[in-house]
Chains A and B, each alone.
Chain A
Amino acid sequence: MITHSPSPGVAVSIQGIGKTYETRHGDEVRALEDINVDIRPGEFVAVLGPSGCGKSTLLSMLAGLLAPSEGVMKIDGERLVKAHPRAGVVFQTDLLLYWRTVLQNILLPIEIKGTVTDAHVARARDLLAQVGLADFADKHPSELSGGMRQRVSICRALIQQPGLLLMDEPFGALDALTREQMIIDLQQLWLTQRNTVIFITHGIDEAVFLADRVLVMSPRPGKVDLELAIDLPRPRRWSVRADPAFNAYLLQIREVFESKGVLHGSH
C-alpha cells in the first residue's frame, strides 16, 4: 500500500489552448483546438494520440519552447511564459552530450542554473542507483545501451526535483522489451518521487498502464476526445493486463480512435 505523503508535484492548468501554424506556402494549419485540462499535483497524465494530433506541440508549449496562439497555461496558478524552473523534460531521443560522463550529463541543468554542490552530486548518484546505473556514473554515453541512455536522460530531468516531469514519447525509440522494462521502472520512480507527470505517447497499452488519467486526442485539428480516469491499484504489475478493467479501458480508447477514423477495419 502506498502512503500518500504531501506531493511535491505542481498543479497544471491548461485553459483554452489553441495553436495555428503557418506553412511555407502561407496556408494555415490548425494544430490544436481549445484544449482544457486541469492536472492535480502529483498526478500522472498520459496524452495519447496518433501522430499529427498535436500532442507534442502541447508538450513543447508546457516546456516553454513554443507559445500558444491562444489560451493560457498555468503552473501552480502562475502563468507560464518561458521554460519553468520546476519543469524537467525527457525527449524522444536521450540528447546526452557525448563528451560528458553520465554524472556530468545529469548535473547539466544544475550547472545551467547555478553551482553544483556535493548534495547535487549525491542526489545524482542516488537517482542513478534508483534506475540501476550506479556503476555507470563515470562512463560516457557511447558506452551505454539505448535504454540505459534514456534512463540517464530521465535522471537528468529529475535532478532538480522538478514539480513537473514532461515526457515526449520517451520510449518511442527503444526496442519493445526495453520499453516494457522502462514502463515498470518509470512507475517505480514516479511512486518514490511523486511529481506531476505529463507523458506523451502513441502507445495505448503504456498510457493505460502508467497513467492516473489518459487524455485521448485526435488530429485535424488536435483536440481531446476523451478523458479517461484509470482506476487500477498501484503499483501495477504485468498481471494487470489480464484484469478485465484494464482491457475495458483499452477497448474504450480504441472505440474513440475508430469513431475518429484513426483506427478502422474491425467490423
Chain B
Amino acid sequence: MASPSSRRGRRKRLLAGGLDFLAAPALVAVILLIWQACVPLFDISPFILPTPYAVLQRLFQDYQLLAAHGQVTLLEVVLGFGLAAVVGVALSLAIFYFRPVEKALYPVLVGLQTVPKAALAPLLVLYLGYGWAPKIFLAFLISFFPILIATVVGLQSLDKGLIQLARSMGASEWQMFWKIRLQAALPNVFGGFKVGISLAVIGAIIGEYVAAEKGLGYLQLQANSQFDTTLNFASIIVISLIGMLLYWVLNRIEDLVVYRKEKPQ
C-alpha cells in the first residue's frame, strides 16, 4: 500500500508534469497577449506591426492566395531537399567506401562549405533563369552538406567490435553494410535530414527573394512594396508551417525506420 507521503509525492509529480507540458504554450500565449495589447496601447500603425489577431484573420481571409504561393515554395523545398538527400547519401557512401574519392572530394567539399550559399543566389538566377531551377538548386546546395557530413560520420563511427562480430559470422561486405553499418548510421542520417530540411526552406525563400514570380518569398516582397505588413506576417507563418510540417513528416518516417533507444519527448 502506498504511504500518504508517496501519494502526495505522486500528485506533486503529476502536477509538475502538467506544468512542464504547459510551460511553453503558456509563454507563447503570454507573448501574443502582450503583443496584442501593445499595438493599440502605443498606437502602432498596422503598416509597422499588425496585431496577432489581424494576422490570424488575414490567414483565413487570404488562404487561397497563401496556399497557391505556399504550394510553390513547398514543392521547391521538397525537390531541393530530396535531391540533397539522394546526392548527399550517395556521395557519403562513395566517400566512405572509395579512398580516392575521400582524399580528393571530401576536402574540396569541406572547403566549398565556407562559401555562404545565399551569396550564390544572384549567380544561380543568371545561369538557371527565373523559374523553378535556381530555387530548387539553392535549397539543394544549402541542405546537402549537413546531410553528407552526418552520414559520413555515421558510417565511420561504427563500433569496431561489431565489425569483428560480423566477420566472425562470415558476413559479406554487403551484409555488413545492409544489416549493420547502415542501420547503425541511420540515427545520424536522420539527424542530417532534419538539419537539412530546415535549411532547404531557407534556400528556397532566398531563391524567391532574388528573382521569382511566385512563392511565399515573392509574396512577401509584393506585400512589402504595398506596405501590406499583415500579409507579410501571414506569409512568414505559412513558411514556418511548411518547415514544421516537413520536420514532422521526417520525424514520422524516422519513427517507422529507426529504433530509438530513448523515445523523443
Write the residues of chain A forming the contact surface with B, with a CB cutoff of 8 angstroms. 60, 63-65, 82-83, 85, 87, 89, 91, 93, 95, 97-100, 108-109, 111-113, 140, 142, 166
**Cβ–Cβ contact B165 & A91, under 8 A:** yes
The answer to whether A140 touches B259, judged by C-beta atoms less than 8 angstroms apart, is yes
Please give, as numbers and ranges, the residues of chain A lying within 8 Å of B184 by CB-CB distance.
97, 99
Decide if A87 touches B168 in the complex (CB within 8 Å): yes
Let me know if B168 and A112 touch, CB within 8 A: no
**Selected contact of A111 from candidates B162, B165, B167, B179, CB within 8 Å:** B179
Selected from A89, A93, A142, the residue in CB contact (under 8 A) with B168 is A89
Docked pose: A98 CA to B258 CA in angstroms: 10
List CB contacts (< 8 Å) of B222-265 with chain A.
258-259, 261
Q: A83-B168, A95-B165 are in contact. List 14 more A-B contacts (CB 8 A).
A: A64-B167, A83-B167, A85-B170, A89-B165, A89-B168, A91-B164, A98-B259, A98-B261, A99-B183, A99-B259, A108-B179, A112-B170, A112-B175, A140-B259
Instruction: Report the 5 A-B pairs with minimum CB-CB distance, sorted nearest first.
Output: A99-B259, A89-B168, A83-B170, A63-B168, A109-B169
Q: How far is the CA of A113 from the CA of B167 in the complex (A)?
A: 12
Asked if residues B167 and A65 are in contact (CB atoms below 8 Å), the reply is: yes
Instruction: Please indicate the chain B residues that have their CB under 8 angstroms from the CB of A85 in the complex.
Output: 170
The residue in chain B whose Cβ has the minimal distance to the Cβ of A92 is B161
12 residue pairs of the A-B complex, CB under 8 angstroms, read A60-B164, A63-B168, A83-B167, A83-B168, A83-B170, A97-B180, A97-B183, A98-B261, A112-B170, A113-B169, A113-B170, A140-B261
Q: Find A82's partner among B164, B170, B180 (CB 8 Å cutoff).
A: B170
Distance in Å: Cβ of B126 to nearest Cβ of chain A: 47
Q: Which residues does B use to contact A, with CB under 8 Å?
A: 159, 161-162, 164-171, 175, 179-180, 183-184, 186, 258-259, 261
- Cβ–Cβ < 8 Å partners of A95 in chain B: 159, 161-162, 165
Q: A91, B170: Cβ atoms under 8 Å?
A: no
B171 touches A112 (CB 8 A): yes
Across the interface, which residues of B come within 8 angstroms of A89, CB to CB?
Answer: 165, 168
Residue in B169, B180, B183, B258 whose beta carbon sits within 8 Å of that of A83 in the complex = B169
In the bound complex, CA of A109 to CA of B167 (Å): 11
Q: Within the complex, what minimum Cβ distance (angstroms) separates B179 from chain A?
A: 7
**Does A112 lie within 8 Å of B161, measured CB to CB?**
no
Determine chain A's interface SS by DSSP, over half rule.
loop
Between B166, B170, B171, the greatest number of chain A beta carbons within 10 A of the residue's beta carbon is seen for B170
Looking at A60, A97, A166, the one whose CB has the most chain B CB atoms below 10 A away is A97
Q: Which residues from chain A contact B171 at a C-beta distance below 8 Å?
A: 112
Q: A166 to B184, alpha carbons, bound, how many Å?
A: 25
A109 to B168, CA, bound (A): 9
Shortest Cβ distance from B203 into chain A, in angstroms?
32
Which residues in B have their C-beta under 8 angstroms from that of A87? 168
- CB-CB < 8 A to A140: which residues of B? 259, 261
Q: Which residues of A sit under 8 angstroms from B261, Cβ to Cβ? A: 98, 140, 142
Bound complex: CA of A100 vs CA of B92, how far in Å? 25
Q: How far is the CB of A67 from chain B (nearest CB, A)?
A: 12
State how many angstroms separate the Cβ of A80 from the closest Cβ of chain B.
12
Distance of A187 from chain B, by nearest CB (Å): 23
Chain A residues whose CB sits within 8 angstroms of the CB of B166 once the complex forms: 112
- Are B170 and A65 within 8 A (Cβ)? no
Known contacts: A83-B170, A87-B168, A98-B261. The answer to whether A112 contacts B159 by CB under 8 A is: no
Task: Return A243 CB to nearest CB of chain B, in Å.
Answer: 36
Of B165, B175, B179, most A-chain CB atoms within 10 Å: B165
Q: Closest Cβ of chain A: how far from B184's Cβ, in Å?
A: 8
Considering the complex, give the chain A residue whose CB is closest to the CB of B163: A65
Known contacts A99-B258, A108-B169; decide if A65 and B175 are in contact (CB<8 Å): no
Contact B169 A112 (CB under 8 A): yes
CA distance A202 to B175 in the complex (A): 34
Residues of B with C-beta under 8 A to A166? 168
Compute how far the CA of A85 lies from the CA of B175 in the bound complex, rounded to whole angstroms: 16
Interface centre among A89, A95, A100 (most CB of B within 10 A): A95
Question: From A113, which residue of chain B is reached at the shortest CB distance?
Answer: B170
Among A82, A85, A112: residue with most chain B CB under 10 A: A112
Q: A residues within 8 A CB of B161?
A: 91, 93, 95
Please, how many angstroms separate the alpha-carbon atoms of A64 and B168 in the complex?
A: 7
- CA of A240 to CA of B259 in the docked complex: distance in angstroms? 45
Q: In whole angstroms, what is the CA distance A91 to B164 when docked?
A: 9
A111 partner residues in chain B, CB cutoff 8 A: 179
Smallest CB separation, B264 vs chain A (Å): 15
The residues of B that contact A100 with a CB separation of less than 8 Å are: 259
* A82 contact set on B, CB distance < 8 A: 170
A109, closest chain B residue (CB): B169
**Bound CA–CA A93/B180 (angstroms):** 17
C-alpha gap A83/B167 in the complex (Å): 7
Name the A residues within 8 Å of B175 (CB-CB).
Answer: 112
Chain A residues contacting B167 (CB-CB under 8 Å) are 64-65, 83
